């Protein structure tokens, strides 16, 4: 993996197995860690197995990460070949800015203006209205070359505040459950209308009673609605947990604990989602249901 000009090497890497569908579930993570430390000539902060059969590696700094990134491939044995790649999201923080002036320009021009702030990618948020026409919202997603976006950036004589980027909960487009993307799903395909195994042919519509798979799985009392209903209790719950986690900078487990503690004290958690909307954290107009 080549070095990117002006950008430090990543601190987060993924290790995947080559030429095999078995993944790394049965391979010792300590063995992988020892080999990586020998290659990088330094300690590894942690190695963690992921559900998709890969291993997430966090290095202590850019120096030993650079050595691992330059290797690209290595072998544990004659039958186990591994690839080292930069993690697709953990090395690049994202934030949201609001500027109607910038939104009038194309994304390439906006990126050119913001490159001095280590912005490597921009995406404008538009909203479809009447006649399916796109309208500018003034919201722009910024992706940075490092994991931690600044709280603000200076543009000329103006200081523009940045807001945490809070995407919608990850939903699988295959089984329709929250928490994982379709590329790692091993469950059967699910009907979005009735919540049971997919049973439709091309062009056919489900005539069964609506039932939400996620609410049924969580044993929510009111599950008689379409899986993609935006008023779905499970969708709202997942949405709030993610907002708490990102805005407060805590883990998902801690976010759930915060949510439950507020609920026990009869304090409504709508505060988090409302703050998110007012701070341009919820980009419902641009996000799709699937990741």
SS3 letters across 135-190? EEEEEEEEEECCCCCCCEEEECCEEEECEECECCCCECCCCCCECCCHHHCCCCCE
Same domain, 67 and 106: no
Q: Three-state DSSP class for 266?
A: coil
> In this structure, are residues 69 and 84 in contact, taking their beta carbons and an 8 Å threshold?
yes
What's the pLDDT score for residue 9? 53
Same domain, 204 and 142: no
Same domain, 77 and 101: no
CA of 129: how far to CAs of 44, 100, 117, 136, in Å? 50, 18, 33, 11
Picking from 134, 164, 194, the residue at the C-terminal end of a domain is 164
Same domain, 68 and 16: yes
Picking from 86, 121, 137, the residue at the C-terminal end of a domain is 86
Could you tell me if residue 4 is inside a domain? no
What's the pLDDT score for residue 111? 92
Distance CA 153, CA 157 (A): 11
Same domain, 208 and 153: no
Identify the domain containing residue 145 by its residue range: 94-164
CATH number at residue 79: 3.30.70.330
Same domain, 215 and 268: yes
Could you tell me if residue 151 is inside a domain? yes
> In this structure, are residues 95 and 149 in contact, taking their beta carbons and an 8 Å threshold?
yes
Could you tell me if residue 171 is inside a domain? no
Could you tell me if residue 2 is inside a domain? no
Could you tell me if residue 126 is inside a domain? yes
Looking at the structure of the chain, the number of domains it has is 3
Picking from 86, 109, 131, the residue at the C-terminal end of a domain is 86
Could you tell me if residue 66 is inside a domain? yes
Same domain, 253 and 215: yes
Could you tell me if residue 291 is inside a domain? no
Residues of the chain scoring pLDDT < 70: 1-10, 61, 130, 263-291
What's the pLDDT score for residue 272? 45
Q: Which residue has the tokens 């120096």?
A: 63
Q: What is the pLDDT of residues 187-218, one digit of tens each?
A: 999 999 999 999 988 889 999 999 999 999 98
Same domain, 19 and 78: yes
Same domain, 34 and 56: yes
Could you tell me if residue 174 is inside a domain? no
């Amino acid at each position: 993996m080549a070095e990117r000009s002006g950008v430090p090497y990543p601190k987060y890497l993924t290790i995947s197995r080559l030429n095999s569908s078995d993944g790394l579930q049965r391979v010792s993570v300590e063995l992988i860690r020892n080999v990586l430390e020998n290659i990088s000539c330094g300690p590894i902060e942690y190695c963690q197995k992921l559900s998709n059969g890969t291993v997430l590696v966090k290095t202590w700094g850019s120096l030993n990460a650079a050595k691992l990134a330059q290797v690209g491939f290595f072998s544990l044995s004659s039958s186990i070949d591994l690839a080292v790649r930069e993690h697709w999201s953990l090395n690049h923080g994202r934030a949201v800015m609001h500027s109607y002036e910038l939104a009038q320009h194309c994304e390439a021009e906006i990126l050119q203006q913001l490159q001095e702030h280590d912005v490597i990618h921009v995406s404008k948020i538009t909203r479809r209205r009447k006649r399916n026409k796109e309208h500018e919202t003034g919201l722009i997603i910024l992706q940075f070359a490092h994991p931690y976006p600044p709280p603000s950036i200076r543009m000329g004589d103006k200081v523009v505040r940045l807001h945490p980027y809070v995407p919608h909960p990850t939903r699988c487009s295959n089984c329709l459950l929250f928490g994982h993307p379709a590329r790692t799903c091993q469950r059967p395909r699910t009907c979005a209308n009735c919540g049971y195994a997919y049973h439709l042919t091309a062009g056919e519509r489900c005539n069964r009673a609506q039932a939400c798979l996620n609410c049924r799985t969580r044993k929510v009392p009111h599950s008689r609605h379409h899986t993609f209903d935006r008023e779905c209790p499970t969708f709202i719950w997942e949405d709030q947990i993610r907002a708490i986690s990102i805005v407060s900078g805590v883990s998902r487990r801690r976010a759930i604990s915060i949510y439950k503690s507020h609920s026990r004290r009869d304090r409504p958690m709508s505060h988090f989602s409302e703050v998110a909307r007012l701070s341009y954290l919820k980009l419902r107009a641009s996000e799709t249901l699937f990741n």
